[in-house]
Amino acid sequence: MGNYYSYMRISTDTERQNFGRQEKALKKYAEEKGIEYLIEFAEEKSAKNFTDRKQFNKLDKLLQSGDTVVFKDLSRFTREAENGYIKYMEWLTRGINIVFLDNPTISSDYIRQMMNTAESQDLVTKTAMEGIIKLLLIVELDRAEQQRRYISKAIKDGIAASDKGSGRKKGSLDKMTDELRHDLELYMHDRTITQKAVMEKHGISRNTLKKYVMRLAEG
């Protein structure tokens, strides 16, 4: 039985994002499965490529057949369709188990079942199933990217249409409204949404914004 590792990634500094949600999800999984992560890898780096991600590369070099890596979702692993597929298949070939908590249909157990089924088929069916496996990965990557773009547009449209004069008093830390909570959660996970935009929409100061973000991070 191999070792368990976890990997977390955010795209920018902790003022904009934090590891809170990933930590909670990974911890819950470990508790439910009765496992202990040998090393918990985390880094603040874009998922545009694997080359620049030092912690990911350290993890990659440590992995041996039978080991398992747990991610909260596919985008923590990669946002690259082609290179992401290549790395994924490389790990499968090396005997690495991959778990995506939010994307179970592309976790390695499910994909290996499909591959084993494909091996027992004729050449045409086998080739078609291999194509389906690749398509599953690419569709999930594209879905995540399209969702990110939709969320970004939605909050920007809301900000543009808002009445800036109707916001709450700057600096006050009132009870968080559902709308503010929604916008803050989007802000924390989409680097294209600026502090200024959220501050102006809700009439809050930079310091107040940080306090709300900390409140959300604490749970």
Say what the pLDDT of residue 17 is. 59
Write the pLDDT tens digit of every residue in 5-27: 999 998 764 444 578 889 999 99
Write the pLDDT tens digit of every residue in 31-65: 999 999 999 999 988 777 788 899 999 999 999 99
Write the pLDDT tens digit of every residue in 86-117: 899 899 999 999 999 998 888 999 888 887 87
Laid out side by side, the sheet with 68-71 consists of 37-44, 4-10, 68-71, 97-100
Topology adopted by domain 4-141:
Rossmann fold (3.40.50)
CA dist., res. 98 & res. 5, Å (int): 10
Binned at pLDDT 50, 70 and 90, residue 188 comes out as confident
Q: Write out the two tokens for 7.
A: 């990997």
pTM over 0.85: no
Is-contact 9 47, C-beta < 8 A?
A: yes
- Going from N- to C-terminal start, the domains of the chain cover 4-141, 162-218
